[in-house]
């Protein structure tokens, strides 16, 4: 059995330069210099689910700061391929020859530690002195190493000193509890950093051996800031109607009899969606709900994407009442519109309806 193997990319390239391709072929898949940098191995016959990728790449921290109500961390790794979504269409974004680095922004509420998937998004502007080098939108992303974050590949102008200015857009999402009225202003925060290829090459690569392709996920890296885990179901308020899996995402559905803390006068029906294995939030989907009692449909509504300090990112709606025997059906109208790294890119697409009974 091939065992997991960890190495830095600089070690890979150094070994190749010394003619050691054969010695690495068994543990790193016979990388060549360009393929090691640009297009690492991809699991064949991937399941339509969360799976262990062929390799994982580590990351390092450029800094952590506060911008208004936000905690912001800027991390980096090698340029990565990733997949974006437009509706149900998945598009691979390969690493371009000019790409220098993959920058990632983690974003959370400083008061509660709640990770914030924002509809207005995040952009990164990179300057060198007074010169603009590049400016790109950072995609909302799911990664097994990073959880939920914003990221993209960026082309730099060689080694040296740079400033990355992170722009955080305001929020139009529904917000409840102490989040009501917050996160509306645009905020900016700047990180000075040194781009050094030797430093970048020292980021670890890990091949997962015979485990690759298995329906599982590696544990996210612990970097000292939130990664976007959904709360434990035992800690969530209300009656738990149950847990169902669709498209390999896990949906936990609740009803709170007194919805006043969510800003409604009726009861409140909500759904917390998360990945299997690591409980990372699954945001930015279109989720519809119906409520049926004794064969009569009482509710047919799209659930609102909502931020709450206790429930976190969820999908919710007011409802008059939910009685014993009522049937709640959930259906995913729009797949989660988040970019995905290896291990998530085949999951959360075909998502059959789910039925819950109170």
More confident residue, 33 or 42: 42
Asked whether 28 and 21 are in contact (CB, 8 A), the reply is no
Residue 283, SS3 per DSSP: coil
What spatial distance separates the first Cα and last Cα of the chain, rounded to whole Å? 47
**Confidence at residue 39, expressed as pLDDT on a 0 to 100 scale:** 74
The superfamily (CATH) of domain 42-215 is Periplasmic metal-binding protein Tp34-type (2.60.40.2480)
Instruction: Note the pTM of the prediction, 2 decimals.
Output: 0.89
**Confidence at residue 28, expressed as pLDDT on a 0 to 100 scale:** 36
Q: C-alpha distances in angstroms, 325 versus 233, 271, 336, 357?
A: 22, 19, 30, 6
**Confidence at residue 157, expressed as pLDDT on a 0 to 100 scale:** 95
Equal CATH topology for 42-215 and 233-357: yes
**Confidence at residue 4, expressed as pLDDT on a 0 to 100 scale:** 52
**Confidence at residue 163, expressed as pLDDT on a 0 to 100 scale:** 98
Q: Could you name the CATH architecture of 233-357?
A: Sandwich (2.60)
Which H or E run includes 25?
helix 21-28
Give pLDDT tens digits for 250-266. 999 999 999 999 999 99
Give pLDDT tens digits for 49-75. 999 999 998 999 999 999 999 999 999
pLDDT-based confidence at residue 170 (cuts at 50, 70, 90): confident
Asked whether 241 and 233 are in contact (CB, 8 A), the reply is no
The first and second tokens of residue 319, run together, are 């409802």
Q: Alpha carbon 209 to chain centroid distance?
A: 24
Domain-wise residue ranges, the chain: 42-215, 233-357
């Amino acid at each position: 059995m091939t065992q997991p193997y960890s190495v830095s990319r600089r070690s890979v390239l150094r070994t190749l330069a010394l003619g050691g391709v054969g010695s690495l072929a068994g543990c790193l898949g016979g990388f060549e210099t360009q393929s090691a940098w640009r297009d690492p191995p991809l699991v064949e016959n991937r399941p339509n689910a969360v799976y262990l990728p062929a390799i994982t790449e580590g990351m390092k921290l450029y800094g952590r700061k506060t911008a208004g109500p936000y905690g912001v961390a800027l991390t980096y790794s090698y340029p990565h391929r990733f997949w974006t979504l437009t509706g149900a269409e998945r598009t691979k974004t390969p690493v371009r020859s000019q790409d220098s680095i993959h920058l990632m922004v983690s974003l959370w509420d400083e008061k509660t530690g709640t990770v914030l998937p924002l509809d207005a998004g995040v952009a990164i502007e990179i300057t060198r002195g007074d010169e603009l080098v590049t400016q790109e939108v950072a995609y909302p992303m799911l990664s097994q190493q990073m959880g939920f974050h914003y990221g993209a590949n960026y082309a730099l102008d060689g080694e040296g000193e740079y400033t990355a200015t992170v722009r955080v857009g305001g929020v139009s999402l529904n917000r409840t509890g102490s989040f009501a009225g917050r996160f509306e202003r645009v905020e900016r925060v700047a990180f000075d950093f040194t781009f050094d290829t030797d430093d970048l090459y020292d980021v670890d690569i890990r091949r997962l051996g015979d485990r690759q392709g298995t329906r599982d996920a590696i544990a996210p890296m612990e970097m000292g800031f939130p990664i976007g885990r959904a709360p434990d179901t035992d800690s969530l308020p209300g009656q738990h109607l149950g847990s169902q899996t669709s498209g390999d995402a896990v949906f936990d559905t609740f009803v709170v009899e007194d919805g006043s803390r969510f800003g409604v006068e009726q009861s409140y029906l909500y759904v917390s969606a998360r990945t299997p294995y690591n409980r990372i939030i699954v945001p930015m989907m279109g989720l519809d709900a119906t409520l049926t009692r004794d064969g009569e449909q009482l509710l047919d509504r799209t659930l609102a994407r909502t931020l709450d300090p206790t429930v976190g990112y969820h999908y919710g709606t007011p409802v008059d009442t939910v009685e014993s025997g009522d049937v709640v059906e959930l259906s995913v109208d729009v797949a989660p519109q988040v970019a995905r790294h290896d291990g998530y890119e085949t999951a959360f697409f075909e998502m059959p309806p789910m039925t819950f009974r109170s």
